[in-house]
């Protein structure tokens, strides 16, 4: 995920025996001697979720690919406790946005349980694995729906409020 605030840096230089602080790099040609550099707003730029990792069924890390492009995640923390009340709306959303987003299930359940769930509910998307605590940090609903564009969260929905394809496209085009 992208940090909401840009990093602000501070350079420290020496000139004529005095310490000089600046947000810009000052050149030796102007008499400045570089001493150090630090980020002054480090607490503001740290990601909210620091242990986010996504793996495929073979255990390969695909985390970085989730930050690229348009992604529609169906977050299902526990497949065995997931509500299926709105699975028709979820299927319609997947079908109506298949050209606009890459849709995935991300879960902490086993591959066997996830595969069974996908087939029983006719949800034709790939699935990946994420730690349960991280999934609960992303969204509390089981299932929950998340729309990301290049790692930026554009929308989170409880399965009771499944968006339409038009709503998703509208958010992507803002």
> What are 32-84's pLDDT values in tens digits?
999 999 988 887 776 666 688 999 999 999 999 999 999 999 999 999 999 99
Per-residue confidence (pLDDT) for residue 1, from 0 to 100: 46
Per-residue confidence (pLDDT) for residue 4, from 0 to 100: 62
**62 class by beta-carbon count within 10 Å (0-12 exposed, 13-18 middle, 19+ buried):** middle
Tell me the average pLDDT across 160-170: 95
Per-residue confidence (pLDDT) for residue 19, from 0 to 100: 95
């Amino acid at each position: 995920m992208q940090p909401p605030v840009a990093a602000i840096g501070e350079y420290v230089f020496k000139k004529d025996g005095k310490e000089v602080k600046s947000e810009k790099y000052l050149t030796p040609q102007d008499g400045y001697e570089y001493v150090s550099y630090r980020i002054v707003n480090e607490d503001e730029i740290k990601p909210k979720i620091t242990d986010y990792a996504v793996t495929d069924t073979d255990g390969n890390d695909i985390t970085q690919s989730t930050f690229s492009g348009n992604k529609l995640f169906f977050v299902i923390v526990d497949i065995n406790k997931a509500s299926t009340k709105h699975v028709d709306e979820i299927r319609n959303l997947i079908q109506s946005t298949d050209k606009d987003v890459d849709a995935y299930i991300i879960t902490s359940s086993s591959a066997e349980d996830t595969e069974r769930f996908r087939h029983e509910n006719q949800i034709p998307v790939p699935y990946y694995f994420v730690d349960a605590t991280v999934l609960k940090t992303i969204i509390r609903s089981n299932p929950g729906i998340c729309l990301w564009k290049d790692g930026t969260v554009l929308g989170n929905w409880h399965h009771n409020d499944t968006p339409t394809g038009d709503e998703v496209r509208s958010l992507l085009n803002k």
